[in-house]
Structure 1
Amino acid sequence: MRVLELISNADTGRLSHTKLWANVACAASTGMFVYQGVKDTLSVDTWLVYLGLVGGYVAALRLIEALRGKRAADQES
């Protein structure tokens, strides 16, 4: 995977603001999560917010991909 694939549209190759800012948010939250882990200040709230942000984003992307794939399969039938 190339780094540009993290911030560009796969079909057009142009910058995708959705991908860019989602990855910035995930990187920033991961940085804070690691920082708090190193400083031994992680709390349950931090764990929940981090997992909700990063895990929820990935789960939502997979759901959207599955729904798009199902819609495309239905249209072909």
Structure 2
Amino acid sequence: MGLVDLIKNPATGRLSHSKLWANIACAAATFLFLVDGWRGTLTADVWLIYLGVVGGYSAARSWIATKRKEANNA
């Protein structure tokens, strides 16, 4: 998997704006999470929000992909 796979639609090979902006948002959140950790200002609230947003997004995408695959096979 190359970096370009993070932003392109696997079915068409074209740029996927939803994947592009979702990955930019996750990268920005990760950067700020790391900056807070480096500065020593990381709180439990920030941990929960970061993990909920980034982890939740990833889990939701996997769940949706599974449901689409099930629907296509039915």
Q: Normalising TM by the smaller chain, what interval?
A: over 0.9
Deviations 1:7-33 (A, max 9, x none): 111111111000000000000000001
Runs of 4+ in 1 over 4 A off after TM superposition: none
> Normalising by structure 2, what TM-score?
0.95
Deviations 1:31-72 (A, max 9, x none): 001000010000111111100111010110111011111112
Distance apart, 1:73 and its partner CA? 1.9
> Normalising by structure 1, what TM-score?
0.91
Equivalent in the alignment of 2:60: 60
- Aligned-residue CA RMSD (Å): 0.8
Unmatched 5+ stretches in structure 1: none
Secondary structure in structure 2 of the residue aligned to 1:12:
coil
